[in-house]
Amino acid sequence: MADGMFDQFKDWYEKRHDYARDWKARTGGQVVATMCTYTAEELLIACGMLPVRVLGAHEPQNVTEPHIFGMFCPFCRDSLAQGLLGRYDYCQGVTLTQSCIQYRQTFSSWRSNVPTVEWDYYVAMPNDVQSPHARKAHYAELQSFRTFLQALTGKPLTDDMLREALAVVDENRRLLRELFEYRKVANPQVTGVEVLYASITAQFVDKREHNEQLKKVLAALPTRNLNRPEGVRFMTIGSENDDLAFMAMVESVGSTIVIDDQCSGTRYFWNESKPEDDVIKAIADRYCDRPACPTKDYPVHTRFDHVLGLAKEFNARAAVFLQQKFCDPHEGERHPDAVPRIRHHQPHRPLPYPYRGIPRNDERRRAVLTLTGD
């Protein structure tokens, strides 16, 4: 990022708590800790609130053992630790839309043991989104969430307010897709680290501000010249990951991360809503239609086609599976049979260099060097 094009996103990421506190001070709005990217942010934004996705700090902690099991994934434990340590003390509310049962316990422990929580809300989104009843059920859940927010704020949450919020969020999704288009070409003029800064900050920065910054970057990109060979084109697949040190290491040894299938990236923003007369239906259906997390990918496994489709579209030549240890939803991708299943789901176009896990320290470097052939 020598030219500074993505510095604002990097600054937002590194100082995300400062940003949220400043936003709260200058707007007077509530900040809400959101757990899981299935949260319908549109409703919170329509209320004048700032949704802030809870992220871990990637540092050792010793405060969660009395609350959740040590065999829960590091993201569950690190997320809870951030609340218990007061890192999100500026958040009045906390909300979770059903994802995995372990993260639901993180949410339950957060709302019970983080003293700054003034309100909480759980959205029981169906996991079986392929069921013919799922859309109607999620519609009802979001209507209930709407009713709760109206009672909380003492103000009506009108259809027009929701449509305006949905338009802002859809614009953000559209702009991020435009940014990702630049990763398709040979020797892309954006790196994987840069776009991760852009996509992850969309999850806790005011969408209107984020949209304006994306527009500035997109206006400047056509004339950018990184003068950087792409090397091996990588795809990352797996559970939540904002491990920027790892991503930077991958790209420092002669390779480029060109696409991902993770909730810190494409799964968060890949699809927009579809036009509907009923705005709650448009919002609810959009989350049912988005690229599926493994918790919501049954009985038909849609992820195989989706992942291979992305790999083909972005010409990925290698895949790195980044899985949180003990992540039950992604455990199938860690099973010895899973990589061959994904690799050969399209026999005519397999990913030639599958690799699983998140190796540490020297192991990381050796693994990537082996994959890139250096």
Q: Which residues contact 134 (CB under 8 A, 6 or more apart)?
A: 126, 128, 288
Q: Which of 145, 222, 138 is nearest to 188 (CA)?
A: 222
Are 255 and 233 within 8 A, CB to CB?
A: yes
Are 235 and 247 within 8 A, CB to CB?
A: no
Distance CA 144, CA 41 (A): 15
Are 255 and 234 within 8 A, CB to CB?
A: yes
Are 149 and 298 within 8 A, CB to CB?
A: no
Q: Are strands 232-238 and 318-322 parallel, antiparallel or unpaired?
A: parallel
The pair of structure tokens assigned to 196 is 């991760």
Site of tokens 């009985």 = 299
Site of tokens 């040590």 = 70
Instruction: DSSP letter for 326, please.
Output: T
Structural domains of the chain, with CATH: 15-161 (3.40.50.11890), 188-372 (3.40.50.11900)
Mean pLDDT by 10 residues, the chain (374 residues): 89 98 98 96 98 93 91 91 96 95 94 96 96 97 98 98 98 98 96 97 98 98 93 89 87 92 94 97 98 91 90 92 80 55 49 46 55 54
Q: Which of 178, 139, 136, 142 is nearest to 157 (CA)?
A: 142
Mapping DSSP to helix (H, G, I), strand (E, B) and coil, where does residue 176 land? helix
Q: How far is CA 96 from CA 50, 101, 110, 139, in A?
A: 15, 11, 11, 16
Q: pTM for the complete prediction?
A: 0.91
